[in-house]
Homo-oligomer: A and B are copies of this chain.
Amino acid sequence: MLYGGIEAGGTKFICAVANENFKIIAKGSIATGEPQETLAAVYRFFDQYTLSSLGVASFGPIGIQPGTEDYGYILQTPKKAWQNFNLLGAIQTRYAVPTAWTTDVNAAAYGELKLGAAKGADSCLYLTIGTGIGGGLVLNGKIYSGFTHPEMGHLFLKRHPQDDYQGSCPYHHDCFEGLAAGPSLEARTGIKGQDLPEDHPVWELQAFYIAQALISYTLMVAPTKIILGGGVMNQEHLLKKIQCSFKVQLQDYVVTPPLAEYIVKWGLPNESGIYGSLLLGKEAIV
């Protein structure tokens, strides 16, 4: 049995094939262009294999309520060519195998729960902090969804008193993503995020906002673990700053698990999403 997985991102599509032991035996990365050319490359990759399942984890927002008209579609994304594109439908037309469909961050949360930093837990929240900010949630072993999937990158937050940056979110300006996604670092300092020294004061702001969002998640759903991934988290010093700010801001209002175990970095760096899509595909086999 071979399982296929696609992590469809706004920048690149990652395609992978895993064997029965969930060892990835082939992997490809395709720059995200127009839908037809991107999918042509996706098909060239998977046509080489006889798949038993295919899990698709997509950038969002996406339609995720089975039985509704927009199920399987990418919805109102800034990427115009992908707006209202039936991605799952295209995949299902090409490959007559059981499929799974969720957001990239939900798949990452699932991958981390089954094979990564939350292995053995029954629930976890995964947050990626990179060019954008997004989160996924697994509760009692299942990907959580209400009338739509979580959009936890767009919570509003309390301002840091030393911050007057207007924020970069095209919808909300100074929501979490607008204040703390990767581009905010360069916008505030004129220096690219990866070149900023560890002791630059902007990291305090960054940790303040990330910690505050984690407090909101904790007060709402109290997940067993919070897992942080994405390019910004490659800053080794940042995790500790986030844990400290979390403690200061929460003021011990709820008793959390020890923070060193509660707020952790991804266990499958850069691969949480693709592993999640492979796993979800497999589980779609009845």
Contact = CB atoms under 8 A, between A and B. Distances in A.
A155 B216 contact: yes
Interface of A: 61, 75, 123, 137, 139, 144-152, 154-159, 171-172, 174-175, 212, 215-217, 219-224, 249, 251, 253-257
Identical copies of this chain, number: 2
B220 A61 contact: no
A156 B212 contact: yes
Secondary structure type dominating chain A contacts: loop
Contacts of A146: 123, 139, 221-224
Contact of A157 (B158, B172, B222): B158
A216 B220 contact: yes
Nearest to A222: B146
A221 B139 CA distance: 11
A254 B222 contact: no
A259 to B, nearest CB: 13
Contact of A145 (B137, B222, B255): B222
A156 B216 CA distance: 7
A227 to B, nearest CB: 15
A220 B156 CA distance: 12
A216 B215 CA distance: 12
A225 to B, nearest CB: 10
Given A155-B219, A156-B212, A220-B220, 11 more contacts: A61-B254, A145-B222, A146-B223, A146-B224, A147-B257, A150-B221, A156-B249, A171-B253, A172-B253, A216-B220, A221-B221
